[in-house]
Amino acid sequence: MTPSSGPAATAPCQPTARGARHPIRLVTSVTARTVLGSLIGLLVWAQLPVVALGWTACVVQSGSMRPALVPGDVVLYQPPPRDRTPAVGHIVLVQDPTRPGHLLTHRVYQVLPDNDLVTKGDANSAPDSTPIRSTALEGVARLRVPSIGLPVQLWRAKQPVPEAILLLGLATLLALAALPLHRRNRPDQGPGNGPSR
pLDDT in tens, 48-57: 888 888 999 9
Q: Which amino acid is at 89?
A: G
Which run of H or of E encompasses 175? helix 160-177
Residue 17 confidence (pLDDT) above 70: no
* pLDDT value for 9: 47
Strands, DSSP E only, in 29-180? Answer: 56-59, 74-78, 91-95, 103-111, 117-120, 137-145
Express as a percent the part of the chain with pLDDT over 90. 46
pLDDT digits (tens, 9 = 90+) for 130-143: 999 989 999 999 99
| Average pLDDT of the segment spanning 11-37 | 73
| Average pLDDT of the segment spanning 177-186 | 70
Residue 74 confidence (pLDDT) above 60: yes
* pLDDT value for 123: 97
- C-beta of residue 100 within 8 angstroms of C-beta of residue 109: no
Residue 16 confidence (pLDDT) above 60: no
pLDDT digits (tens, 9 = 90+) for 78-115: 999 888 899 999 999 999 999 999 999 999 999 999 99
- C-beta of residue 120 within 8 angstroms of C-beta of residue 65: no
* pLDDT value for 162: 79
Q: What angle do CA 173, 174, 178 make, to 5 degrees?
A: 115
* pLDDT value for 194: 47
Q: How far apart are CA 149 and CA 193, in angstroms?
A: 56
When pLDDT is cut at 50, 70 and 90, the band that residue 197 belongs to is very low
| Average pLDDT of the segment spanning 123-134 | 95
Q: What angle do CA 150, 55, 36 make, to 5 degrees?
A: 35
Q: How far apart are CA 92 and CA 115, in angstroms?
A: 14
Q: Which residues contact 95 (CB under 8 A, 6 or more apart)?
A: 102, 103, 104, 132, 136, 138
* pLDDT value for 15: 46
Bridge partners for 132 per DSSP: 117
Q: Which residues contact 117 (CB under 8 A, 6 or more apart)?
A: 85, 86, 92, 94, 108, 109, 110, 111, 131, 132, 134, 137
Q: How far apart are CA 43 and CA 187, in angstroms?
A: 44
